[in-house]
Amino acid sequence: MNEQPSDSGHTDGAIQRPMSRRAWIGAAGAASGGALVSACAPGAEAPGEDASASIVPLGNRILLRGGSVLSMDPDVGDFDAADVLINGTTIEAVGPGLDASAEVLDASNMIVMPGFVDTHRHMWQGALRNILPNGLLSDYTRDITGAARRVFRPEDARVGDLVSALGAINAGVTTVLDWSHIGNSPDHTDAAISGLQEAGIRAVYAFGSGAGGAANTYPDDIRRLRAEWFASEDQLLTLALAGGLNAGAWALAREVGAPISVHVNGAGALLSMAGVMGPDVTYIHCVNLTEEEWRLVADSGGHVSIAAPIEMKMGHGIPPFQQALDHGIRPSLSVDVETEMPGDMFTQMRSALTLQRMQANARAGDPDQPALITVRDVIEFGTIAGARANALEDRIGTLSPGKEADVIMLRKDMINVLPVNNAYGAVVLGMDTSNVDTVFIRGELKKRGGQLVGVDLDRVGQMAADSRDYIVRNAGWPETLLGGYLPGH
């Protein structure tokens, strides 16, 4: 079942050997078919290495000229038309008519804004997109975290993370918290991290448990992860703990300086954690929390991650936007699982907006009727609120001078939004992934002209299909695209 070499360190495990991105492009297409492990030769730099090496010949200073700029930073402001100056890995300046010697990218047909931030996604499932289109939570635990997870090889985790990360970048999601409960073994964990690294996304790797067994070393292995993969915080990948309501595991996370991300679905479950709750914890879903629990989250400075489409569809409960707002918490947004929902934030923002307004509108005439949230509010949820929850507020989430340059450019001249009459409205109500023209992560160009940079999509597709075939076969599911073989499929 494990076709990996036994040594799964950074350079000899899922990634066969270090190779520059340029070499990856050169090698792309050479490998096809066969065992995944032989098709996964592309390498990636260790995080933090080679951060300045762009595969696109842009200079060190890049001026995005004349876009509609939504900085999302109240101290900077938003602009009908302004420039954004990127210097190396950081944002140097934002404002109209910047005068700088720099390579100029015309942004006059673009909305320029911070990259979206997802605060909870199970990226190891990337090759299982839409495989459970009608599933409830019980179907998911039976088939995805049950049957499929048990047969996952390390390379399936790597491919899943790679595919999910590339899809995120393509959709303008520059940061994802990877809630990685595929810790079947340290090899699985290392492989998932390798997939993120290969994709070049900014990610919070939230180490989670996996299928049970002797090789499952959760949560203690987080000490090794800190030392081997996350010794530096100055890299695109940072460490967190994907935990349960377990004070011992939370203490371990704090020992290694990792923030904590936890699912909370039921009433009363949080009460036992009251003594250890803190501002380093993100609470996912939060449906059915009691008033006392909401006060504990708010008073401890905790963050909230709402996966509204999934919660509505799979039966978690009613997404608690209003409850979060009532307690002074600006919620972040999360995709959760691509087995049932797309990986973009346009879907998330529209869900948040419509759901909160449905709840507030239903209370018309009530003297305590809540305020209606706006399109700008949900862009904030999808950017800076996510950066806060992911403990990255000082680096990303707004277009602020000094922050790292995670910047996206969205096309205004497409038939789904032209002529743009309200920038926030166009982003939230009219746009989709097809509008995402350009993506920078830490100043590095990841998408340009609507195309991922340096990615051989045929090759990625073949790797994903091979992995999917293996998982489906070993989970005992029929090989069909028409579904219907089990409840939820």
Residue with tokens 């090899």: 187
User: Does residue 338 touch Zn ion according to CB under 5 A?
Assistant: no
Which region, judged by CB under 5 A, interacts with Zn ion, from 76-84, 99-107, 330-338, 358-366?
Answer: 330-338
| Cβ at position 481, least distance to Zn ion in Å | 26
User: Does residue 190 touch Zn ion according to CB under 5 A?
Assistant: no
**Rounded Cα distance, 429 and 409, in Å:** 16
CA distances (Å), 246 to each of 47, 78, 260, in order? Answer: 30, 43, 11
| Cβ at position 272, least distance to Zn ion in Å | 21
User: Does residue 336 touch Zn ion according to CB under 5 A?
Assistant: yes
How many residues in the shown chain lie near Zn ion by CB under 5 A?
A: 1
CA distances (Å), 456 to each of 95, 138, 344, 443, in order? Answer: 36, 36, 21, 21
**Rounded Cα distance, 254 and 260, in Å:** 8
Touching Zn ion, residues 90-109 (CB under 5 A): none
Candidates 212, 180, 236; CA nearest to 44 is 236
Closer Cβ to Zn ion, 13 or 309, answer by number: 309
Which region, judged by CB under 5 A, interacts with Zn ion, from 69-77, 200-208, 336-344, 359-367?
Answer: 336-344
| Cβ at position 381, least distance to Zn ion in Å | 17
Which region, judged by CB under 5 A, interacts with Zn ion, from 10-18, 132-140, 334-342, 354-362?
Answer: 334-342
Bridge-based pairing of strands 78-87 and 61-70 is antiparallel
In sequence order, what DSSP letters do the residues of 16-57 get, joined into one string?
-S---HHHHHHHTTS--SS-HHHH-----PPTTTTTT--SS-
Candidates 322, 352, 349, 348; CA nearest to 335 is 348
Q: Which residues contact 9 (CB under 8 A, 6 or more apart)?
A: 190, 228
CB 186 within 8 Å of CB 217: yes
Build a one-symbol-per-residue string for 282-321: x at contacts with Zn ion by CB under 5 A, - elsewhere: ----------------------------------------
| Cβ at position 129, least distance to Zn ion in Å | 16
CB 430 within 8 Å of CB 153: no
Which region, judged by CB under 5 A, interacts with Zn ion, from 144-152, 161-169, 287-295, 333-341?
Answer: 333-341
| Cβ at position 441, least distance to Zn ion in Å | 24
| Cβ at position 371, least distance to Zn ion in Å | 29
Closer Cβ to Zn ion, 156 or 336, answer by number: 336
Closer Cβ to Zn ion, 92 or 311, answer by number: 311
Q: What's the CA angle centered on 170, arms 390 and 110, to 5 degrees?
A: 95
| Cβ at position 191, least distance to Zn ion in Å | 20
Which region, judged by CB under 5 A, interacts with Zn ion, from 143-151, 329-337, 349-357, 420-428?
Answer: 329-337
Q: What secondary structure letter does DSSP report for 282?
A: E
User: Does residue 118 touch Zn ion according to CB under 5 A?
Assistant: no
| Cβ at position 348, least distance to Zn ion in Å | 14
Which region, judged by CB under 5 A, interacts with Zn ion, from 8-16, 95-103, 332-340, 364-372?
Answer: 332-340
Using left for φ > 0, alpha for ψ between -120 and 50, and beta otherwise, residue 263 falls in: beta
| Cβ at position 336, least distance to Zn ion in Å | 5
Binding site for Zn ion (CB under 5 A): 336
